[in-house]
Structure formats: structure tokens, C-alpha cells
Amino acid sequence: MRARFREHVYPLHSHDAYSFGITDSGAGMVMAFNPDEAHDGQKASELGYRYRIVHLGPALVREVLTDAADGSLGEQLLFSRPVLDDPALAATLARLYAAVAGGTDPLVRDERVTAAVLAMTA
């Protein structure tokens, strides 16, 4: 999803997936929400905000992490900080978003999913 808002505020809500996003303007941050984690959406400046976000199912995230851990994965990963300031991570998520939104070759898309999940959990 890609959106731009000047005044809109999302009410408190959650998703049943991991949500990885980047604010392109308004704050310049990376967002990481766990499944079922309540959050809202508010502007950080008077100009509003513009962002891109990708929702990944828990099974997909767990599969990537299990593969990376050679099959030995402990309890479910939870992000402790939903907003991060990390330009390199933002660039990784931008590549993922481009692959998902742009109809990139499935192998490239899968590589970018893996890269993004591993970067988000590092």
C-alpha cells in the first residue's frame, strides 16, 4: 500500500500480519508492527505524511527466519520498537516495496522478501 495524508488520522487498529513500512515524507522513519499490535497513524509535521507499507503473513516471516536459522527457531519474533531511524533498512524496504508493487520476477521478489525480513530482525 502507498498513501499520502495531510489531515487524515487512522484510528487505533491492527493487522493480522507483520507490517513493514517507510515514511517517504513527514518523518523519514521505518515502521515495524507485529501481528495484532494496535497502532494508529498520525502526521509528524504540519505537511502531513507519505508512506509505503508491505504486510507479510506470520507464516512467511517464520519460514524465512527458520530457513536462516537452519531449522531451529525459538519463540515468535516480536518487534520491541515500532519506529526506527535507519536509512539502510529504509532502502531495503524500498526495494521490497518496488518488487511487490512493480510485478518483479518472483525470484527477485522472494530474494527481497528474505533480505527485508532478515534486515528487520537483525
List of residues 6+ apart from 3 with CB closer than 8 A: 50, 51
Domain count, the chain: 1
Exposed / middle / buried, residue 94 (Cβ in 10 Å: 0-12, 13-18, 19+): middle
Res. 42: pLDDT tops 80: no
Give the CATH number, domain containing residue 40: 2.60.120.280
With bands split at pLDDT 50, 70 and 90, how would you rate the model's confidence at 94?
Answer: very high
All three cell numbers of 69? 536459522
Per the structure, the complete domain to which residue 50 belongs is given by 2-73+80-121
Q: How far apart are CA 119 and CA 96, in angstroms?
A: 11
Q: Looking at this protein, which amino acid is placed at residue 11?
A: P
pTM of the model: 0.84
pLDDT of residue 46: 72
With bands split at pLDDT 50, 70 and 90, how would you rate the model's confidence at 113?
Answer: very high
Q: Nearest CA to 45 among 66, 24, 73, 18?
A: 24
With bands split at pLDDT 50, 70 and 90, how would you rate the model's confidence at 24?
Answer: confident
Backbone angles phi, psi at 46, to 5 degrees: -65, -20
Q: Nearest CA to 1 among 31, 45, 38, 44?
A: 31
Q: How far apart are CA 120 and CA 39, in angstroms?
A: 18
Listed ranges 47-51, 75-79, 101-105; the one with the highest mean pLDDT: 101-105
